[in-house]
Structure 1
């Protein structure tokens, strides 16, 4: 099973690198604008994806200008138009994420969304300034009974996070 999981996960990472390179570049440019101007890059992840915000703020290599997005709507309303939000989610029809992205869009805060793309763009995708498809459509490992398990949403989001982080670093270094 581990070999199947590893092969499938490697394939997901390759697809992200190949199919989402342009979206990652666009997202990194948007985030780099906040970094260069000294504004905040606010991170939010739903459920287990909140770990990406910890990686961005508490790791050995924190993301420049990284902050955790406030849960309080009044505090979020204080975001500056030059701030950016990097939003991670795994359900394309999540009402809480839909409400959050609508709120941020309405107040003029640019959002880079990372989650599953749909054949027809979801409301979440439509309200993001840049959307990056994390390429995870279903669990990766088939079971004997025909079901599947192993849905590494956090791993794929961390892969996208690091791709964005490296690209932002390159952009900021070129700017300086």
Structure 2
């Protein structure tokens, strides 16, 4: 089982690696807020909520990051701020946040699995596919277990964190 798990994870990480340019662009967009006078507002959904405190309060949190809890808080966001929305899937709630941010012309990044039903991801300027749409490890009864959303997000997050760190270092040297 471990060998299958490892192979499947490597496949997911390869799909994420193929999005490196989009991850770099998303990191640059978020860094515009952190290097200016703005903040990076982070809103997580469903099981991804477990990762919220790490992104905003850990030793390796995103610079100038804050948690967004309620949709009405978007009215406090100004043009110097950026938003990061992270969920396992495109739920009605995530789509509602996307619509609100678009209506208010706020720059944002979305990390989630592709929306196969409504193709919401196709209309986003800054989108990163989580690449974990289903469980990946087969069991003896032919079902599958382990849907590694958090592992994939952690991988994406550390790529973004490293990109943003490097940008900060380059700016400090200039």
TM-score, normalising length from structure 1? Answer: 0.89
- The answer for unaligned runs of 5 or more in structure 1 is none
Deviation of 1:129 after TM superposition, in Å, equals: 2.9
Instruction: Describe how 1:63-74 pairs up with structure 2 within 5 A.
Output: 63-71=62-70, 73-74=71-72
User: Within 2, Cα distance between the matches of 1:96 and 1:7?
Assistant: 33
Deviation of 1:99 after TM superposition, in Å, equals: 0.4
User: Within 1, Cα distance between the matches of 2:60 and 2:101?
Assistant: 27
1:98 is aligned to 2:132 = no
User: Within 1, Cα distance between the matches of 2:146 and 2:130?
Assistant: 15
Tell me the SS of whatever aligns to 1:109. Answer: coil
Aligned to 2:151: 155
User: Within 1, Cα distance between the matches of 2:30 and 2:20?
Assistant: 15
Question: How big is each residue's C-alpha offset from its partner over 1:51-93, in whole Å with a ceiling of 9 and x where there is no partner?
Answer: 232111221222100100131x33221111221111111223x
Query: RMSD in angstroms over aligned alpha carbons?
Result: 1.8
Question: How big is each residue's C-alpha offset from its partner over 1:13-33, in whole Å with a ceiling of 9 and x where there is no partner?
Answer: 13211x110110110110111
Aligned to 1:28: 27
- The answer for unaligned runs of 5 or more in structure 2 is none
TM-score, normalising length from structure 2? Answer: 0.90
Aligned to 2:84: 86
Question: How big is each residue's C-alpha offset from its partner over 1:107-130, in whole Å with a ceiling of 9 and x where there is no partner?
Answer: 11111111112568722552x330
Instruction: Describe how 1:1-176 pairs up with structure 2 within 5 A.
Output: 1-17=1-17, 19-71=18-70, 73-92=71-90, 94-118=91-115, 122-126=119-123, 128-176=124-172
User: Within 2, Cα distance between the matches of 1:42 and 1:167?
Assistant: 18
Does structure 1 retain, via aligned residues, the 8 Å contact 2:13–2:152? yes
How many residues were matched structurally?
172
Cα distance change on mapping 1:125 and 1:115 into 2, 3 Å:
farther
